């Protein structure tokens, strides 16, 4: 009982350390993973729910640091790239699923998560195609691991390639699966990269709706419910308020600073949910599919961005 209380205290101290702004987003993810590996996850029952809401609150808060004109321009800059990479990822994912002889539900979920926004896309599409819990868990495990790797790999690669903040923000939004890791990588690269990545990723997230409708026809489902990412509307509302109201700088700066700290905490919590045993159960073929799609989308989008922007 006493040791459990100590573990809970250490976990809370980890959260407070992330809130302090003293550690970067990759370190927060690593700290969460190591703490769970050594001590276990003392708040497993609540962590996923907290991650879900904290990420949404953080994204809405970032809207208070953006202006509508630059947001629209950034969204249009990434539109062609978004459409191209989503179509390519889904088509190649379908072909590789057949080639690897994977379960079609599993292949579609991994492809959907890679194409749009990781766990959110998987969560939206899974009920539409009536995927079973094991299939959902495996697809989340694959996408989740690649997200974690991207958080560490992308910023150094961006610097090595001499990418501007605008270029890196676009690349992160397109080539990294989950919103939390996209924002985490961009946060580590710079403020402009963060603004670009957040805007393009959230506009990309809206493609969950047509993807869900397409999935419904592909899997001949007529009763699947489509989840609409409503928090994006709040993000847009925050941008509009910041653009058209004369809000005090101290207020908008404070909100965006808190939002960034919340994102660091989110990544700590994400790291704490990683399980080596769960990843071992996933098997090799789903990882081959996930890594193949990730490399295709990363390399093709990088080439496009470096040549067009």
Structure letter (DSSP) for residue 23: S
Burial class (CB in 10 A: 0-12, 13-18, 19+), 256: buried
pLDDT of residue 164: 95
Spatial CA neighbour of 129 closest among 111, 104, 92, 95: 104
DSSP of 140-197: HHHHHHHHHHHHHHHHHHHHHTT--HHHHHHHHHHHS-SHHHHHHHHHHH-HHHHHHH
Q: Which residue has the tokens 């295709």?
A: 296
pLDDT of residue 162: 94
Report the chain's terminal Cα–Cα distance, integer Å: 57
Structure letter (DSSP) for residue 64: G
pLDDT of residue 226: 61
How far does Cα 141 stand from its chain's mean position? Answer: 13
pLDDT of residue 100: 92
What averages of pLDDT result for each successive group of 10 residues across the chain (309 residues)? Answer: 78 91 81 86 85 82 82 73 89 94 92 85 80 77 84 93 94 88 89 90 80 82 61 83 90 90 85 73 84 92 88
Is the distance from CB of 102 to CB of 286 less than 8 angstroms?
yes
- Buried-state track 211-224, b at ≥16 Cβ within 10 A, e below 16: bbebbbeebeeeeb
Q: Which residue has the tokens 């209380």?
A: 5
pLDDT of residue 227: 62
- Could you give the C-alpha distances from 41 to 29, 44, 85, 271, in angstroms and in order? 14, 5, 36, 10
| Cα 297 from Cα 309, distance rounded (Å) | 17
pLDDT of residue 22: 85
| Cα 50 from Cα 54, distance rounded (Å) | 6
| Cα 93 from Cα 83, distance rounded (Å) | 15
| Cα 128 from Cα 214, distance rounded (Å) | 10
pTM exceeds cut of 0.85: no
Number of alpha helices (DSSP H) and beta strands (DSSP E) in the chain: 16, 0
Structure letter (DSSP) for residue 245: S
Spatial CA neighbour of 275 closest among 120, 136, 138: 138
| Cα 282 from Cα 228, distance rounded (Å) | 29
């Amino acid at each position: 009982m006493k040791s459990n209380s100590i573990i809970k205290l250490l976990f809370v101290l980890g959260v407070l350390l992330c809130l302090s702004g003293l550690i970067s987003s990759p370190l927060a993810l690593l700290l969460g993973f190591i703490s769970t590996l050594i001590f276990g996850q003392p708040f497993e029952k609540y962590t996923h729910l907290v991650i879900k809401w904290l990420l949404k609150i953080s994204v809405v808060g970032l809207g208070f640091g953006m202006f509508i004109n630059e947001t629209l321009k950034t969204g249009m800059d990434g539109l062609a790239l978004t459409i191209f990479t989503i179509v390519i990822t889904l088509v190649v994912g379908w072909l590789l699923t057949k080639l690897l002889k994977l379960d079609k539900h599993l292949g579609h979920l991994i492809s959907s998560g890679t194409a749009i926004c990781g766990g959110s896309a998987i969560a939206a599409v899974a009920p539409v195609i009536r995927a079973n819990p094991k299939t959902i868990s495996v697809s989340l495990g694959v996408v989740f691991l690649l997200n974690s790797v991207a958080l560490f790999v992308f910023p150094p690669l961006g610097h090595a390639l001499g990418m501007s903040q605008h270029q890196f923000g676009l690349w992160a939004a397109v080539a990294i699966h989950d919103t939390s890791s996209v924002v985490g990588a961009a946060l580590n690269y710079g403020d402009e990269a963060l603004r670009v990545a957040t805007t393009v990723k959230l506009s990309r997230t809206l493609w969950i709706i047509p993807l869900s409708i397409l999935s419904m026809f592909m899997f001949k489902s007529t009763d699947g419910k489509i989840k609409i990412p409503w928090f994006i509307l709040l993000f847009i509302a925050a941008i509009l308020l910041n653009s058209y109201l004369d809000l005090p700088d101290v207020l908008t700066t404070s909100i965006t600073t808190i939002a960034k700290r919340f994102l660091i905490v989110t990544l700590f919590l994400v790291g704490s949910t990683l399980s080596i045993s769960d990843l071992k159960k996933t098997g090799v073929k789903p990882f081959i599919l996930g890594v193949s799609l990730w490399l295709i989308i990363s390399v093709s989008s990088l080439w496009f961005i470096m040549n067009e922007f």
